[in-house]
Structure 1
Amino acid sequence: MVLSEYGYWGEELVGPLEAFDARGYQVTFVTPTGKRAHALPPSMDADYIDPPLGRTVTTPEMARAVRALDESDRLDNPLSLADLIPERPYNSSINHLRELEAYHRTLQPAVDDLVAAYDALVLVGGSGPLVDMVNNERLHEVVLGFHAADKPILAECYGVTVLAFARDWESRQSIIYGKHVTGHPKEYDYKDGTGFLGVDFNMGPPPFPLEYILRDATGAFGGFHGNVGKELSVIVDYPFVTARSTPDSALSGELLVQTLENGLRRYGW
């Protein structure tokens, strides 16, 4: 499970995690540089009103569960993507060709080892991923590795953006081209208040409308499903399981379990 160091939305971790724990899965946490991840404060507040929805999105029970996990030691000592996956050199480096060759020599074994060790990959959402997950090339390489191995990938909320940007450097085509996904529709976007942990900065609205990115990335033979007006929106188009937002977290975890144990390949469209 990949978590942002700038804040994850609590239920989007707890929802899938509870499904995995119930099945006895071994779960490993990873962050971009190995720093401990923490839940965004609004995701631990049962009284917080989500501006686009005009209602609370966190139950008192979930708020307690998120706080208990956040205050526990379970998220201590995550793996570090920066330690696991090499960094691609700049084209402007003095000895670019040799450095690029060395990069590929170390990249493939590193990705192969990581993919071989796990059955699935989960990209937890929230506003934090906008900062250190969405355009993280190391994370893109991990996603490409799981995709090449035909292993399921669950992405929630703004974590779905990682799938849109994970692309082979030769074709530059998104791995979700031709696929069906869900994610934040325009109707769910904030007009103000997009914040992050560790920085005193209110971005205002999110820096991009995720719906537009996903519509373009899935192309003419795929599709984006916002399911506005429906309480839940989770799409399975194997190997991808995508969840629109907070309330979809538990269902997304349950459906990932079904892909692993029962061969589920399609759901929600």
Structure 2
Amino acid sequence: MSKRILVVLSEFGYWGEELVGPVEAFDRQGYQITFMTPTGKRAHALPPSVDPEYVDPPLGRSVTTRDMARRAADLDESDRLDNPVSLQALIPERPYYSALNHLRELEEYHARLDRATGDLVSGFDGLVIVGGSGPIVDLANNERLHELVLAFVKADKPILAECYGVAVLAFAREWEDRASILWGKHVTGHPKEYDYKDGTGFLGVDFNMGPPPYPLEYILRDATGPEGAFHGNVGKETSVIVDYPFVTARSTPDSIPSGELLVEVLENGLRRHGW
């Protein structure tokens, strides 16, 4: 039976190559891919990610080849991304503590959550969180997605997160102790050197955020603790870290090797790479 992968995309824009890399690796293996977005709206690629003429400000060059721009545009315009699964429809929302009947609502929440995450985890072999600027808006602090991540971790199933999608791993924490699931782990992600000073953009909003609202590198350094580490690998062409169950990818060029490494995790039991 072919393996099944759940791929989560932001509704505020994903980076084209960061979807293409894993999807092409999974397609070669014959994996079944299901796409999910926070509310079930169709995801779209960020315009710069399908424009080979766009110059990435921190790197001072284009990060998208003409061939990759074509592949990303073809996937973005295909019907494969139509009708994604809705995270909101499947995972319940934790009630506020100010709810009038909080105890009963909390009991019902946990019962529904266990059923929902149990069904999703049993139905998929791996989880992918695609990067880009969009995840800053609707994935990084999405408690429903946090619960899904925690369920995959508890089931000992792998999770690939790319670029600013890695923030989800830093914020996904058990409600009781709030301890980082990355504590003691080795990860990579968007380093300070790669952050924009201005022009962080999103689809569907007419708003220039300027720089990213948080420096992901600092968050990951704190989340991994003294026994783990953040690896920016600045100055190296690629940066992908495997510290099972996590596969983390720094940025755009890391999408292809990250997809290939997740396949290695699933097919050959890879548990460590890049550190």
Structure 2 partner of 1:268: 274
- Check if 1:233 corresponds to 2:205: no
Separation in 2 of the partners of 1:176 and 1:204?
28
**1:74 is paired with a residue of what secondary structure?**
helix
How much identity, in percent, do the aligned residues show?
Answer: 78
Structure 1 partner of 2:101: 95
- Check if 1:80 corresponds to 2:80: no
- Check if 1:246 corresponds to 2:229: no
Separation in 2 of the partners of 1:105 and 1:26?
29
**1:14 is paired with a residue of what secondary structure?**
helix
- Check if 1:140 corresponds to 2:146: yes
**2:262 is paired with a residue of what secondary structure?**
helix
The code of the aligned residue for 2:109 comes to Y
- 1:1-269 equivalence runs, <5 A: 1-269=7-275
**1:28 is paired with a residue of what secondary structure?**
strand
The code of the aligned residue for 1:243 comes to A
RMSD between superposed Cα atoms in Å: 0.5
Separation in 1 of the partners of 2:166 and 2:183?
13
**1:256 is paired with a residue of what secondary structure?**
helix
How far off is 1:46 after superposition? Answer: 0.4
The code of the aligned residue for 2:36 comes to V
Residues 24-51 of structure 1: per-residue CA shift (max 9 Å, x gap): 0000000000000000000000011100
Separation in 1 of the partners of 2:97 and 2:140?
22
- TM-score, normalization by structure 1: 0.99
| Structure 2 stretches lacking a partner, 5+ long | 1-6
Poorly superposed stretches of 4+, deviation over 3 Å: none
How far off is 1:69 after superposition? Answer: 1.0
How far off is 1:121 after superposition? Answer: 0.1
How far off is 1:120 after superposition? Answer: 0.1
The more displaced of 28-37 and 87-96 is 87-96
Aligned residues between the structures? 269
**1:259 is paired with a residue of what secondary structure?**
helix
**1:241 is paired with a residue of what secondary structure?**
strand
How far off is 1:174 after superposition? Answer: 1.1
Separation in 2 of the partners of 1:78 and 1:185?
30
